[in-house]
Amino acid sequence: MTLIVDLGQSGSRVRIDGKQIDSNRGKLNGESVIDSLRAIFQQLPKTHLDIAALACTGFNGDVSDPQPFLRLCNEFFGTTKVALIDDGLAGFVGALGGSNGVVLSIGGGVVSVGGKNSHFAHRDGLGSTFGDEGGGFWLGKLGLTRALGVRQGRGNDQVLLNAFKEQVAAFDALKVKNASDASTLAIKSAQVLLAAADAGSPTAIAIRNEGAALLAQTVIATWLGAGGSLEDSPEIAIQGGPSKNSAYVSAIQSNISHSLTEAKFVSARGDNLDGALWIAHHMPHDAEPLLRWASKS
C-alpha cells in the first residue's frame, strides 16, 4: 500500500489505501518539515505501507536529503521507499496531468510550478517573511494589520474593521503577538480579507488587487523559466484556498492576460494528493531539485 501526504501551512491531508484523512495540523511557522510530518504521523492509524509519497511545503523549490524521511516513514509504517516531493511539483502534476503550462497554488503560502516538454521551473515558495506574495498569510496579515490600524484611528475604513471584528478579538487574545499562533491567525484571515473586498472595503480591494498583480508576475516568471515565451498558449490552473474567491481569481487571470495573451485558463484536473500518487507510480527517478527518492534494501 502507498501513503500519500499533502503537507501545507494551514493543514494536511493524508491518503492511505484510498481513504483520506484531513487534519488542521500543518507545518507550523519555524518548524522543520520532518518535525511536522512526525506530529502528523503520530495521529495516524498504525499500518504497514510499502511506499510513501510526501508532498510538502517548506522546501522552497529545493527538496532536501530524503534519507531522514525514509527513516521516519520506516519507523512508523515499515516503509521501504519514499518519494520526497516539493508541493509545487505535486500540484503541477495533479492539476495539468502532464500538459505544458503553469499551476499556481495559493494556500497559506504561494508556490508556482511550470513545465514545458519536461523542463520544469519553480517560483516563489520563499516563505512568509520574504516571499509568498499574494498568498493566504500575505492577504490575512495585511488585512488584519490595516484593521488594527483603523481601530487605532489610523484610517477610516469601517467596512474593513467590521469584517475583521472576530479576527481583531482573536488578536487581542493572543498572549504572544508574533509567534506561530499569530501566523496561523493571519492565514485564517485571508478569506475575511477577500470577503471584505467583495463587500466594498477600499482597503481590502487595494490589497486584493496588489496580490493579484504579484501572483500574475509569479505565473509569468514561472512560464518563462520553464522555457516558454510570451507568444505561447500554456494551460494555467489556479488552485488553493484563496482561489475559491472568484473575484481574486478573475483579477489574477486578467493580470496574466496582459502579458500572456494566449494563455488558456483551465480548472485543475486533480490536486496535490493526486499528483503525489501519480509521481509515486510513474516517476521512479529523481527530478532534482523538486523530487528525490530514497529506498531501503
**pLDDT of 128:** 86
**pLDDT of 61:** 82
Strands (E), the chain: 2-7, 12-16, 19-23, 51-56, 81-86, 101-106, 110-116, 119-124, 235-239, 264-265, 291-295
For domain 98-268, which architecture applies?
2-Layer Sandwich (3.30)
CATH number assigned to the domain with residue range 2-90+271-295, chosen from the 4 options 1.10.3470, 3.30.420, 3.30.70, 1.20.272: 3.30.420
Q: Is the pLDDT of residue 10 over 80?
A: no
User: How confident is residue 127, by pLDDT bands cut at 50, 70 and 90?
Assistant: confident
Cell 516503509 belongs to 79
* Residues 68-112: tens digit of each pLDDT: 999 999 999 999 999 999 988 998 999 998 789 999 989 889 999
**pLDDT of 249:** 98
Q: Is the pLDDT of residue 135 over 80?
A: yes
Phi, psi of 173 (to 5 degrees): -80, -15
Q: Is the pLDDT of residue 297 over 90?
A: no
User: Cell digits for 109?
Assistant: 503560502
Residues of the chain with CATH 3.30.420.40: 98-268
* Residues 21-56: tens digit of each pLDDT: 999 899 987 899 999 999 999 999 989 999 999 999
- Please give the mean pLDDT across all residues of the chain: 94
Residue 110 CB contacts under 8 Å (≥ 6 apart), including other chains = 104, 124, 125, 131, 132, 133, 134, 135, 138, 215, 218
- Please give the angle made by the CA atoms of 192, 197 and 202, to the nearest 5 degrees: 125
User: How confident is residue 164, by pLDDT bands cut at 50, 70 and 90?
Assistant: very high
**pLDDT of 124:** 92
Q: Is the pLDDT of residue 229 over 90?
A: yes
Cell 494566449 belongs to 262
Bridge pairing between strands 291-295 and 81-86: antiparallel
Say if residue 171 is exposed, middle or buried (CB neighbours under 10 Å; 0-12, 13-18, 19+). Answer: buried
The CA distance from 215 to 123, in Å, is 10
* Sign of the dihedral defined by the CA atoms of residues 6, 7, 12, 15, in that order: positive
**pLDDT of 98:** 76
Cell 519555524 belongs to 30
The CA distance from 221 to 207, in Å, is 21
> Quick one: angle between helices 202-225 and 136-151, nearest 10?
160
Q: Could you tell me which residue, 168 or 119, shows the higher pLDDT?
A: 168
Q: Could you tell me which residue, 70 or 126, shows the higher pLDDT?
A: 70
Phi, psi of 127 (to 5 degrees): 95, 160
The CA distance from 241 to 235, in Å, is 20
Radius of gyration of the chain (CA): 19
Q: Is the pLDDT of residue 201 over 90?
A: yes
Which of 56-60, 128-132, 223-227, 249-253 bottoms out in mean pLDDT, i.e. has the lowest? 56-60
Whether pTM exceeds 0.75: yes
The CA distance from 6 to 25, in Å, is 11
Q: Dihedral through CA 97, CA 99, CA 100, CA 103, nearest 10?
A: -30
* Residues 57-69: tens digit of each pLDDT: 888 889 999 999 9
Residue 3 CB contacts under 8 Å (≥ 6 apart), including other chains = 14, 15, 16, 49, 51, 52, 53, 73, 77, 79
Q: Is the pLDDT of residue 160 over 80?
A: yes
